[in-house]
């Protein structure tokens, strides 16, 4: 039997985040610049190769796979990959297949996603104010996203709303976003902005420590920390007044690297061992060589030896991003 993926700090890797494209139909200001150069299509792994990579991880003990991007649903024929992974989940070889999406294409795909065996998805929604949404995402498509969220609910998918909290931009909307999400039976997770890739503004101006947001929420709501985990970095509280769950992802004010169980693979087949570091291991050559099964395992072992203990994200005024690649390359 092939060995489980365990790094040199004794952490077992059971969770793969797989970016299927670096492209996106939005241009969120904290994530991308308005004008982005995307990878040439010929450099991407095919959907079949992405399936093969996923299976190499499953054979080494990965139990959860999240498809991400860029926007995963803009990749043509992506549902063939969702279905292939969903079949592993249906057969018990995976605990879960899931996705992070901006919701713009959910009206078209939600029912099929559910049919493939996906039970829960994360949908990013930073504002329910059409003007703020358009400014933040640089696209005026809030109604389309809200219809997509409704389609996902109708399809029976459990939904977690992800909201990147940005100082002076959408922070005033947090209480209302929470009431709305919880009122519809959806979790809400707030995320601190991370210094990844060049954008058109200074992230220091956007950065809002979530410790401050939590303090402010506690003036209005009763939050009780709960032990629930969904396999990722979010830490949850139960909100007495709404009955819902609030998650906080706080890589800057509080890093949770000690129990990191994740690896990330890009759409060109690079494994990134840490979101906040640049070191990576190539899988594409292994995949396309003479002996893919053996070579993929060698590459995975190499990645395990090189997985760092922790990220060293820091945001200061005018400083360069901690890593030069955008979040959309490795996905969230």
Kindly state the smallest distance separating residue 325's Cβ from ligand SF4, in Å.
12
Considering the complex, state which of residue 207 and residue 281 has its C-beta at the smaller distance from ligand SF4: 207
Of 63-71, 182-190, 206-214, 215-223, the segment contacting ligand SF4 by CB under 6 A is 63-71
Q: Where are the beta strands (DSSP E) in 210-321?
A: 223-226, 235-239, 245-249, 262-265, 270-272, 280-282
Q: 193 touches which of ligand SF4, ligand SAM, none (CB within 5 to 8 A by kind)?
A: ligand SAM
Kindly state the smallest distance separating residue 301's Cβ from ligand SAM, in Å.
28
* 193 part of the interface to ligand SAM, by CB under 6 A: yes
**CA nearest neighbour of 68 among 123, 108, 133:** 123
**CA nearest neighbour of 286 among 6, 45, 93, 60:** 45
Task: Please state, in angstroms and rounded to a whole number, the distance separating the CA atoms of residues 232 and 15.
Answer: 8
Using CB under 6 A, which of 14, 98, 102, 107 touches ligand SAM?
102
Inter-residue long-range contacts of 212-217, CB under 8 Å, 24+ positions, other chains counted: 213/165, 213/171, 213/174, 214/248, 216/174, 217/174, 217/175, 217/178, 217/246
For residue 173, count other CB atoms closer than 10 A to its CB.
17
**CA nearest neighbour of 12 among 298, 264, 263:** 263
Considering the complex, state which of residue 100 and residue 270 has its C-beta at the smaller distance from ligand SAM: 100
Binding mask 114-153 for ligand SAM (x = CB under 6 A): ----------x-----------------------------
* 161 part of the interface to ligand SF4, by CB under 6 A: no
Q: 68 touches which of ligand SAM, ligand SF4, none (CB within 5 to 8 A by kind)?
A: ligand SAM
What six digits make up the tokens of 273?
A: 């061992």
Task: Please state, in angstroms and rounded to a whole number, the distance separating the CA atoms of residues 151 and 198.
Answer: 34
Using CB under 6 A, which of 56, 70, 73, 94 touches ligand SF4?
70
Using CB under 6 A, which of 164, 186, 296, 299 touches ligand SAM?
164
**CA nearest neighbour of 137 among 113, 161, 163:** 163
Binding mask 5-34 for ligand SF4 (x = CB under 6 A): -------------------x-xxx--xx--
Of 65-73, 281-289, 291-299, 304-312, the segment contacting ligand SF4 by CB under 6 A is 65-73
Task: Please state, in angstroms and rounded to a whole number, the distance separating the CA atoms of residues 125 and 140.
Answer: 13
Binding to ligand SAM in span 259-298, by CB under 6 A: none
* 160 part of the interface to ligand SF4, by CB under 6 A: no
């Amino acid at each position: 039997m092939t060995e489980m993926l365990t790094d040199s700090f004794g952490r077992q890797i059971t969770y793969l985040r797989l970016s299927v494209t670096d492209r996106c139909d939005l241009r969120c200001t904290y994530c991308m610049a308005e004008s982005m150069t995307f990878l040439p299509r010929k450099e991407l792994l095919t959907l079949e190769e992405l399936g093969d990579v996923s299976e190499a991880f499953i054979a080494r003990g990965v139990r959860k796979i999240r498809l991400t991007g860029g926007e995963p649903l803009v990749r043509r024929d992506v549902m063939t990959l969702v279905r292939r992974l969903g079949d592993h989940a249906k057969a018990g070889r995976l605990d879960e297949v899931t996705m992070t999406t901006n919701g713009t294409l959910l009206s078209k795909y939600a029912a099929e996603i559910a049919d493939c065996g996906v039970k829960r998805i994360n949908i990013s929604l930073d504002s329910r104010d059409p003007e703020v949404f358009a400014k933040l995402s640089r696209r005026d498509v809030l109604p389309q996203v809200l219809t997509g969220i409704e389609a996902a609910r109708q399809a029976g998918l459990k939904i977690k709303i992800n909201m990147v909290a940005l100082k002076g931009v959408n922070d005033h909307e947090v209480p209302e976003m929470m009431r709305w999400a919880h009122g519809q039976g959806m979790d809400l997770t707030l995320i601190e902005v991370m210094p990844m890739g060049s954008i058109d503004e200074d992230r220091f101006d956007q950065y809002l420590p979530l410790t401050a947001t939590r303090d402010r929420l506690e003036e209005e709501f009763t939050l009780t920390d709960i032990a629930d985990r969904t396999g990722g970095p979010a830490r949850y509280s139960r909100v007495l007044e709404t009955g819902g769950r609030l998650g906080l992802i706080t890589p800057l004010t509080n890093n949770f690297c000690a129990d990191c169980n994740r690896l990330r693979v890009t759409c060109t087949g690079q494994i990134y061992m840490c979101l906040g570091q640049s070191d990576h291991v190539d899988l594409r050559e292994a995949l396309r060589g003479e002996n893919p099964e053996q070579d993929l395992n060698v590459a995975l072992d190499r990645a395990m030896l090189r997985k760092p203990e922790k990220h060293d994200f820091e945001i200061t005024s005018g400083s360069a991003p901690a890593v030069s690649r955008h979040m959309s390359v490795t996905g969230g």
